Structure 1
Amino acid sequence: MNDKTPAGRPVKLRSPFIQRLRTYFFTGIIVVAPVAITIYLTWSFVEWVDQVVIPLIPIEYRPEAFLPFTVPGLGVILALVGLTLVGALTANLLGRTVVRLGEQIVDRMPVVRGIYNVFKQIFETLLKDTSDAFQYAALVEYPRRGLYTIGFVAGTTRGEVVRRVDKDLVSVYVPTTPNPSSGFILFIPREDVRILDMTVEQAMKYVVSVGVVVPPDPSAPTLPGFETAPGTETPERKSA
């Protein structure tokens, strides 16, 4: 066994026990970190909503006036109920009239108008059903020919853009990694958009994980020179 490098320097060999501890340590991080971060962010959000909503409730009607302890998450419950009631009220004719009147007032305010319209469009897009917001996950060449990235097909491009270019274009949203809320909207010829078999949710996880969480592709052939991972052999390979 050669314990020296080509330059003649001795190699520091790691003991199997140290390697096993290192593997256990990183495995523990992979298991615990997502759970801990999820709990922390969820609890932080609940506390933030409670701090905003609960002060609006008169002191004599708060749970601590009747109980010897506070009720965490009460603000979230009240916020959900309140938002649902607002949505129900604005769904009828009177509610829509009030909202329309409010938007007309906002449209007369130069700075506020721009901020309101931007956030309104963002929330209308994000809160749509996924099938409506993004139809497919696709592979597009970006930022130049020969380089590929994942994009999300929003639909067929319409309006002045198509009239100016006079081509059959598709609107594709290309998110940035690991924050998919920012990105670019590209208008790409339909023949240059390659629709992927993975779902929009799988593609979004692929982007957010910086390419670590790869969606399964059972129909993909095994590349020459690469071994199939244990437990993922195809029926043909198993029978051989």
Structure 2
Amino acid sequence: MMNTSKNKDNKQKVKMYVKLRRYFLAGLVAILPLWLTLYILWLLFKLVGNITRPFLGPILGLFFEREPVVFLVRISSFILTLLIVMFAGMIATDIAGRKLLLSLENMLTRIPLLRDIYLFVRKLTQYVFTKKQQYRQVALLEWPLKGVMSIGFITSEFVSSDNRKMVTLFIPTTPNPTTGWFFIVPEEKIIPLDLNADDAMKMIITGGMAGTDNYNWFPVKQGRIKP
């Protein structure tokens, strides 16, 4: 009886640990990209303020008292920070700018520790800021082996020349969802899931440790794709 009760206690502790770890990882996936974005903006704001304060403060001091000057310097630093971010966005969308950013990225990825941090942050931010409309529905595909199911995202649908309903399916890799496999398969080969794209992506990034508390959605009978 003593051993049985101890085993039950140990199992409950393990379950609790697994659940807490899942919640922690899910929280990181949800919060970290936003926190990093705000933190980087705050650092940029401080940097701009430190650079502009020595010459902007005296100029504004000619027209305003000391307290308004401090406030106006901060407002000016905030506006300049936004302009810098928008300017970076303009560069990133330009062909020459993309080449420059790619060169900087290649330099960063050659530094061991910095490379890992940069790639991790980039993956998370790309996931958060990617338009969710591109993923119509989560689905299963029997791949790469018979009896083995892979989670993917339906990106489009079309009808082939022989009137077969086809879908395009993207199956991401773990833990890097920015790479993966692209398939064009008949609609009847996939199994649509009652699982939203956010939870599916969390599962992929964390290797199944976060994203859903239960697997009631699996398996789901084959059916039509939701519009």
Normalising by structure 2, report the TM-score. Answer: 0.48
**Whose helix fraction is larger, Structure 1's or Structure 2's?**
2
Which structure carries more relative contact order (alpha carbon 8 Å, separation 6+)? 2
Bigger radius of gyration, 1 or 2?
Answer: 1
